[in-house]
Structure 1
Amino acid sequence: MGIPDGIGVVDLLMGLPNRDRRWWATAMAGTLRDEDSRTGMTHPAGYMFKDLPEMERTDSSAEDLLREMDRFGVEKALIPVSFEDPDTLDAVRRHPDRLLGSFQVDPTDVMAGVRGLRRAREEAGVLAATFFPCGCTPPVPIDDRLAYPLYATCVDLGLPVFVNAGIPGPRVPAAAQEVMRFDRVCYDFPELTVVLRHGGEPWCDLAVKLMLKWPGLHWSSSAFAPKHYPRAIVDYANTRGADKIMYAGYFPYGLTLDRIFAELPGVGFKDEVWPKFLRTNALRVLGL
C-alpha cells in the first residue's frame, strides 16, 4: 500500500534556504582539514548528494516553503531558528500553525547554549532542541558532560532533543556520534525524549537494540532518500518499533520533496505504520 491520502504529514527537518551556503565551513573551520571542505564544497556532505536543491533566500522564502509543503500534503514542518537569522524567527511567528521552531545548542559554551534555548522557548515558542556533536569545535560527544546541561534543560522545559548520530557528513572524525553513547544518556536522563537525526549509520542495528531498551529514544529519517532507509529500521518499524520511527525530509538542504515523495511508496512499511511514521509519532514527541 502507498502513502494514505490526506494524512497531514509532519516533517521533522525543513528550513529556509541558507543565506550563505558555506556557513558550515566557517562554523567548523577549526576542525576541517581537507582542502575540498575548506574551500570548495557548498554542502557539508556534497560528495554524497546528487541534484542538490538550488534555492536562494528571498523575502518570500517562508511562503515559498509553505507552497512546497502544500504540494505534497505536508501540514507542519520543524525548522531551525536562530537569533542571528531574524527571517527564521519571523517565519515561525507568522505561521505558528505550520512552521514549528527548533533551536540548535552548542555545548562548548554551556551556559550560553542553555540560556539561548530558554530564550528561544520563551520568545519564539520553539518545540525542540537540536545538537550536532561533530559540528562543534572541538567536537562534543553525545554523552559528554558538556552536553548534560542541555539534556537537563530539555527535561525541565519538556522539550525533545534531536541529536545527529552516526558517521557525519562533514569530513571530521565520527567518534563523537557513535550510537552506543546514547545508552548512557538515556540511563542518566530517563525522562528525556531523544531523537536520532541523520540515520545513525553504520550502527542502525545497535540503534534498534537501544530503542527497544529505552522508551525515550527515537529515530528520524532526515538526510536519507527513502530508497536508502536502513533495512534494520524498516523491519523494526514493521514489527515492534512503529511508535519510534518518524519522517524527516531535509529540504531544501539536501533532498527535494519531489524525490522524497516519489520514493516513499517503495519503502515497504505496513499499512498501520504509515500514519505513525508520517504524523502521529511526531505530534506526540513535539507535545502537540
Structure 2
Amino acid sequence: MIAPSTIRAIDIHVHAEEPCGCHADDGYDALQAEMARYFHAPWTHPPTLHETAAAYREKNIAAVVFPVDAERETGYRRYQNEEVAQAASDHADILIPFGSIDPARGKAGAREARRLVEDFGIRGFKFHPTMQGFFPNDRAAYPLYEAIEAAGVPALFHTGQTGVGAGMRGGNGMRLKYSNPMFLDDVAADFPDLQIIAAHPSFPWQEEALAMAVHKPNVWIDLSGWRPKYFPPVLIQYANTLLQDRVLFGSDWPMIAPEGWLAEFDALPIRDAVRPKILKDNAARLLGLKETP
C-alpha cells in the first residue's frame, strides 16, 4: 500500500489506456484522436498503463487508474478489469486500481465486483453514464451498487460535459443528459454508506453538484477534466470552505497532464490549510491509505 507521506499528491482520475496491449480497431482510436485535439494533449498514441506508471513515478504522484466498460453502448472493446489490476500490481508503488462494470450486467456485474475486490485488490469502481448510456439512479444498477457498498470501496461517476465526443458527428452518439449530477442524489440517498465521487466540474450543472455534495456527506467532488484556470468561482469558494474535506485532485490523464494541472492550481486562491487536503489528504482518507510502520 502506498504511504501518503512518500508522495506529492494523489491523482484520483487517471484513465487506463490500452491495458491489454491490443490495438483498438472498433472506433476507439477516432474518439481518442478527437479528444486529444480538444484537450491539446501532447501525445501521438495513448499511453499504456506501464507508460502511465513511469510518468507518475517520475513525478512522485500516486494515480488511481481505471478502464471504462462501455462496450454495450459504444461497441468499444472492453478491457478486462483483471488485466488492469495486474498491471497496477506490477506498479503497486504508484498505481491504485479501480474497475469498471456496465450496470446493465445486473447480478453478474455484482458478482464480478465482489470477486474483483476480494481476489484482485480492486479499490473502487468507475462509471461513465454518458458513455455507458444509463441514468445513475436506474434501479437496474442497484444490485451493483449494493455490492460496491458492501465491499466498502468508492464509486466514481463521470458528471457534466468534459469533451468526450465533443465536435464529433452527433457528439459520437453520446447523450449528455445521463451525466447530470442530480441523478446521483437518489443514489447517495439510497446508499448512504457508499462513498460517491462526482467527477469533474459538472458543466453546466456545477451548482447542482455542489448542492448535492453539501447535502449528502457521502458525496465527494474531483476536479479532473478541466484546467484549473477555467474553474468557476463558485467551485473555488466551496472547495475552500464547506467542501474542503471532500474535494479531490484529479487530472483526467492522458488528456490533461498532472504537472500542467498542478501549475495552474498553484495560481488559484486556495487557502494554505486547504491545499494539501485537496492534493492528497482527502484522497488518502477516502482510499484508506495509511503510513506503514
TM-score, normalisation: structure 2: 0.81
Moved more, 209-218 or 7-16: 7-16
Aligned counterparts of 2:33 and 2:100: Cα–Cα separation in 1: 18
1:201 Cα deviation (Å)?
1.2
1:14 maps to amino acid: V
Deviations 1:117-143 (A, max 9, x none): 22211222011111111212xx11011
Aligned residue in 2 for 1:116: 112
1:73 corresponds, among 49, 60, 64, to: 60
Alpha-carbon distance between aligned partners in 2 of 1:55 and 1:40, rounded to the nearest angstrom: 11
Which residue pairs with 1:161 in the alignment? 155
Residues 46 and 69 from structure 1, CA distance in 2 versus in 1: closer, same or farther, beyond 3 angstroms? closer
Percent sequence identity over matched residues? 25
Q: CA deviation at 1:65?
A: 2.9
Deviation readout 1:81-109 (Å, 9 max, x if unpaired): 68637653332222323211100110112
The change in CA–CA distance for 1:208 and 1:133 in structure 2 (over 3 A counts) is same
Q: CA deviation at 1:165?
A: 1.0
Residues 103-252 of structure 1 aligned to structure 2 (within 5 Å): 103-136=99-132, 139-167=133-161, 169-170=164-165, 171=171, 172-252=174-254
Deviations 1:56-89 (A, max 9, x none): 556xx52x43442244331x21111686376533
User: Where in structure 1 are there 5+ consecutive unaligned residues?
Assistant: 27-38
Q: Give the superposition deviation at 1:52.
A: 4.3
**Match in the other structure for 1:29:** none
Partners of 1:53 and 1:256 within 8 A in 2: no
Distance 1:207 1:180 in 2: 7
Q: Pick from 50, 53, 71 the counterpart of residue 43 of structure 2.
A: 53
Find the residue that maps to 1:199 and give its secondary structure: coil
CA contact (8 A) 1:13 1:249 kept: yes
Once superposed, what is the RMSD of the aligned Cα atoms?
Answer: 2.6
Q: Which amino acid aligns with 1:13?
A: H
What is the aligned residue count?
265
Unaligned runs of 5+ in 2: 68-77, 166-170
* Counterpart code for 2:63: A
TM-score scaled by length of structure 1: 0.82
Does the 8 A contact of 2:114 with 2:148 survive in 1? Answer: no
Amino acid at match of 2:117: R
Q: Which residue of 1 aligns with 2:75?
A: none
Asked if 2 retains the 8 angstrom alpha-carbon contact of 1:83 and 1:89, the reply is: no
Deviation at 1:230, TM superposition (A): 3.0
Distance across 1 between alignment mates of 2:82 and 2:219: 32
Residue matched to 2:70 = none
Q: Secondary structure at the match of 1:48?
A: helix
